[in-house]
Structures are given as C-alpha cells and as structure tokens.
Amino acid sequence: MSRYEQFADALQSGVLVCDGAMGTELYNRGISFDLCFDEFSISRPDLVRSIHEDYKFAGAQILLTNTFGSNIYRLSSHGFEEKVTEINAAAAALARSVAKESSYVAGSIGPLGKRLAPVGQISIEDAQDAFAEQMTALANGGVDLFFLETFSDLHEVEAAMAAWKRVASEIPLVAHMTFTDEGKTLHGYKPEEVAQAMTEMGALAVGANCSVGPQGLMEVIERMLRVPDIKLSSQPNAGLPQFHHGRYVYITSPDYMAESAKQFVQMGCHLVGGCCGTGPAHVRAMRSMVEGMTPTRPKRQLHIDASDPEIEIRRPPTGGQRNTLREKLDAGEFVSSVEIDPPKGINVEKLVRGAELCRSSGVDCINIADSPLARARMSHTALATIIRREVDIEIILHMSCRDRNLIGLQSEIMGAYALGIRNILCVTGDPPQVGDYPNATGVFDIDSVGLTKLCARLNRGVDLADREIRYQTDIFIGVASNPTSNDLEAEFAHFGNKSQAGAHFTMTQPIYELDSLKRFLDECKPTVPILVGVLPLRNARHASFLHNEVPGMFIPQGIRDRMTKAGDDGPQEGVAIAQEFLAEAKKLCQGVYLMP
C-alpha cells in the first residue's frame, strides 16, 4: 500500500492529532525570534529533536518538520539560500528518527515570504520552482505527507500544489489557509471558496490554521462545511499572545484547547492540532479528549451561494470630485507643483500659509512627501487634509512602502481617497538606516511597482486577488523616475515596469542639464506626462552634498563650478541655473515639480 493510501485510510477511520507549534517552542527554550529557526535542524539538531520527542510523548500522531520557512526566499534573508536541500532533508530526518513507524511525519511548508506577481516581483514559475525544491528535499528525507500552512493567497497555494503535482504527487498533501477575525483571508477569500478550490486541486484534507484562536476558527470551519465530501483540519493558535515580563506568552489553557478539539471533531474535523502557542501540554490534553471519537458532520449542510449577499459592489457616482491636475494634463496644459515636507512637530501654520502663497502665485498642486529620508514627521495625510481644508489647491500625496505593510498601505490609500485626495505618487521609500532611527524596521512588503499595481487594481474595483470589492477608486497614479541614475539600464527597465503597472504620470528626480532628460525620453519613450524635477541650489556646499551624498542625485561638474564661483550669491545663481534649465526643458515635458 502506498504512503498516500496508508494515510488516506488512517484519515478515513477516525481522528488524527497533530503536534503543536515549533517556533514558539523554540522561543520558549531561549531562541530569539530574529534567528532562523529552520537552520537549527542542522546547527542544533538535539534541540529540535527534543521538541519532537516531547510532542510524541504527549500523544501527537503527526509530527511536523521544522521547515515552515525553509524555502529559498525566506532562508536568503538569513544567508542560508544555498542550504535549502540540506536544511529540509535534515529536518525530515530528525522528525523521522523520532516518529519511527508509530507516527506520521508531515513536511511543513509555509508561504514564500515574498509577494507574488502581479503585485510582487516573484513570478508564478519562480514560486513553483521554490516550492518544488523544498518538496523534493522533504520527500527525499522521508516525509509521509505535506502540510501547507498559514497561506493567505490562494494563488500561492495553487503554485505550491502545482509544484507538488510536478515532483511528489504520490505523497498526500493537506492544505491550510489562515483567516482574520472577520472570517476571510487577508486577500478576501471566504472559507468555503478556498476549501472547495484546494480540494479540487487535489488536497486530501483542507482546513485553517494560525491567526486566531479556537473560537475564530470554529466559524471558519462551519463555513467550510458548506462544501460536501471533504476532510477538514483545524490547527488554531492557543489564543492571542500577550507581552508579559519581556516575553510573549499565550494564555489559552490545555483544557480549553482540548474542549475545542472535541468540538472540532464533532463538527467533522479528521485532523486536530494547534499552531502558535500550542505546546506539548495542549497536545496531551487534546489527544486524551478526542481519543476514540469519530468525526461527525452535521446532517444539514449549507452549499456555496455565488451570490453572497455580503458582497455589494458600490461604484462612485459619475461626475464626482474633479481632478484639476488630471484635467490639465489631459488638455495638454503645462502644470506646476511645489513640494512641501510635513513638519517635524505639530505646527502647520507656516506650511498652510506657504500653500496659500503657491495658490495665489498660480501653482497648480502641492505635493507632500511621506517622511522623506526616513525622518519622523507629521502624517502626510493629516497635513494634506489640513491644507485642503484651508486652501483650494490640488494635492499630490507621496505614498511610501517603507513604514506600512500591505494592509496598512491599502488602509492609507482608502483613507486618503475618502478625504478627497485623488493623486498619489507611489514610491518605495528611503531605508530607515539613512534616517533618525537607523534601527527601525523597514517593512517593504512591496515596492513602488507593487504599490502602483495596488492603486490600479483599486481603480478597477478589484483587490490583489482580482476579486471585486465594495468600492472603486479613481486615483491618478504617479511614479518617480530618475534620468540621472548611476545604472541607467536598470532605471529605465524599472520605469517600464511602473508604466506597465498602471502609472498615469511621472515626476523625475531633480535634473540640472538637458542631456539627461533627452536620454530618458529617447530610451524610455514614456507615454505618460512628465513633471520634471527642479531643485534650486543654495551654494557650492549644497551642490557638493547633493552630488556626493544623496543617492540618485547627479550635479554636472559645470554646474558645481558655477556655484563655487557664485560665492555669497549662491542662492541667486541657483535660481538662475534652474530658470535656464526649465526654459529648455519646458519644450520636452508637461510640467515642473519644484523642491524649494
């Protein structure tokens, strides 16, 4: 009998109890979260083996390998990208040495930790190759089945299962996705949808793990019951963590987890276990509680209704808020924008007066940076809202990927749009290391290309998974470009990616000579309006600083020489240089972006 048939028979005959968390057990034994847990299978095998032994002694019938993050992308963040095969094979062998023939070994496979295309940079083919590499090593190491865990993107599950069919389809696979407390994945999928999709892809059992505690997953499992003839698995966290005396602790008791496991079996689950915070004591209580039980699905089963009443697509009314920037560019008018940085404090009166002066001088827009150079400043959205309240002028709001994850970015975009902001400049953002808090964590879930794609999808009324959402935006999407980059080939390719992602206009880095702009136009052949960046120099030291210390800036030697000769008249000379350049550049672009 094949491994697939053996496990399928065991699953059919009753309940199997899985082990608990590996990561939080390592943490409980003194391992810091910022270390690579997966690598401990080769550097500290005795520690990993002791956790497997504790779980087996507690009654776990399925031991998961210490390989949740053992793919090339996650391992590369720790410098172990060359050890994918070694780590996975060692982890499988460790679990096998403890399980022997009395327990099953499941190869734990988590998400890649990188966004997939079209929002991210990882192609579906590359994702499949990464999963295939990990699965091949786990299979060679002797696992009995694969456990997909904590996925939120159904497309990534599809990539993993395509890899499985390619390299190890003879080994059974159990697929889990993770859900928010709203009962959906972060990408908006409903439980019954993913359960049906993963079953149709070939998963022997499907279910949910992580994110929330038992009560939250019960609602998810109830909705998965809408899909007939499937085997279900539930692996909840031991509640939510609390930070207590310098450490994260989970407070859900073994008795509560055991009672919850009983309820999951009564709902029809064939696999029960636990995720984060679940330890050997929880597993022991669960095994004792469900021993001898038979999964029984409720007689009354709901079926998937494609016309789910909770999905109501609301479109903005036609003829809504005007966007004068877009109108003027569409009409071929030359536009001007002036950049204002949010204050480092809370007083905005001077900035509001500056915006009023710009408006009275004929400036079309104010563009507001998002904590440039990674220096903590007032919320750019707050400043934009205050200026809009006081001054009738269009706003271009910079949006950086540095400080917000994907959820935060979408939230910020929705909030800005609700406040009347229609123009967003998508930027990756300066790294924290150059700012006031170099030890701060940069998020960078996506980059400027991914952010552009996100805005474009919101404009179409779809989310990252191409699912319709309840609103549709009309964002005028801007992107940055740098005609003076040190690596022009890479910069031009990057700009092409931004254009394909849905950019409507571009704003360049400051330029001081026409050749760079002409080269950019000749090489990239942009089809969107260009607002050329102009930053008047103050003196020779300013010119030298920008050229030598600011990434992406290029000040020609001739311009630097002029600023040196100007001496105390530097500010006047800087304005003259800017005026001369703009007089020529105006023939080649559609607007100017002033950085006073």
Q: Is 50 exceeded by the pLDDT of residue 401?
A: yes
Calculate mean pLDDT across residues 288-309.
Answer: 69
Lowest mean pLDDT among 240-254, 299-313, 315-329, 451-465: 299-313
417 token code pair: 């749009």
This prediction has a pTM of 0.68
Q: Say what the pLDDT of residue 32 is.
A: 87
Q: Say what the pLDDT of residue 307 is.
A: 42
Phi first, then psi, for residue 517 (nearest 5°) are: -65, -45
Q: Which CATH number fits domain 3-290: 3.90.950.20, 3.20.20.10, 3.20.20.330, 3.50.50.60?
A: 3.20.20.330
- Judge if the upstream peptide bond of residue 118 is cis by omega within 30 degrees of 0: yes
Q: What is the pLDDT of residues 441-476, one digit of tens each?
A: 889 989 999 999 999 999 999 876 677 888 899 999
Name the H helices within 502-556. Answer: 514-524, 540-549
Pair 159, 117: CB distance under 8 Å: no
Q: Say what the pLDDT of residue 116 is.
A: 87
Cα(235)–Cα(265) distance, integer angstroms = 12
Pair 338, 596: CB distance under 8 Å: yes
Q: Is 126 exposed, middle or buried (0-12, 13-18, 19+ CB in 10 A)?
A: middle
Question: How many C-alpha atoms does 277 have within 13 Å on its Cβ side?
Answer: 23
Q: Say what the pLDDT of residue 6 is.
A: 84
Cα(297)–Cα(199) distance, integer angstroms = 17
Q: What is the pLDDT of residues 206-234, one digit of tens each?
A: 999 987 789 889 999 999 999 998 999 99
444 token code pair: 């960078």
Q: What is the pLDDT of residues 165-194, one digit of tens each?
A: 999 999 999 999 999 878 888 777 899 999
For 289-308, give the secondary structure using H, E and C: HHCCCCCCCCCCCCCCCCCC
Q: How confident is the model at residue 306 (pLDDT cuts 50, 70, 90)?
A: very low
Task: Give the residue carrying structure tokens 């295309």.
Answer: 117
401 token code pair: 């990927």
**DSSP structure class, residue 341:** P
Question: Greater confidence, 568 or 435?
Answer: 568
CB atoms within 10 A of CB 9: 10
- Tell me the residue length of the chain: 596
Q: Say what the pLDDT of residue 506 is.
A: 97
Q: What is the pLDDT of residues 10-48, one digit of tens each?
A: 888 889 999 999 999 999 899 988 899 999 999 999 999
Q: For the chain, what are the domain ranges?
A: 3-290, 324-539+577-594
Q: Which CATH number fits domain 324-539+577-594: 3.30.540.10, 3.40.1130.10, 3.20.20.220, 3.40.50.2300?
A: 3.20.20.220
Calculate mean pLDDT across residues 224-253.
Answer: 82
Q: Say what the pLDDT of residue 133 is.
A: 98
Cα(479)–Cα(491) distance, integer angstroms = 12
Nearest to 155 by CA among 193, 183, 182, 192: 193
In the chain, the amino acid numbered 521 is L
Q: Say what the pLDDT of residue 2 is.
A: 72
Nearest to 237 by CA among 209, 256, 264: 209
Cα(360)–Cα(577) distance, integer angstroms = 24
Q: How confident is the model at residue 326 (pLDDT cuts 50, 70, 90)?
A: very high
Q: Is 50 exceeded by the pLDDT of residue 364?
A: yes
Question: Greater confidence, 250 or 405?
Answer: 405
Q: Is 60 exceeded by the pLDDT of residue 315?
A: no
3-290 and 324-539+577-594 agree in CATH topology: yes
Q: Say what the pLDDT of residue 247 is.
A: 66
Phi first, then psi, for residue 337 (nearest 5°) are: -135, 145
Q: What is the pLDDT of residues 88-141, one digit of tens each?
A: 999 999 999 999 988 999 999 999 998 888 777 899 999 999 999 999 999 999
Q: How confident is the model at residue 8 (pLDDT cuts 50, 70, 90)?
A: confident
Q: Is 60 exceeded by the pLDDT of residue 311?
A: no
- 22 Cβ contact partners less than 8 Å away, ≥ 6 residues apart: 37, 48, 51, 64, 66, 68, 108
Q: Is 60 exceeded by the pLDDT of residue 301?
A: no
Calculate mean pLDDT across residues 417-438.
Answer: 89
Phi first, then psi, for residue 398 (nearest 5°) are: -70, 145
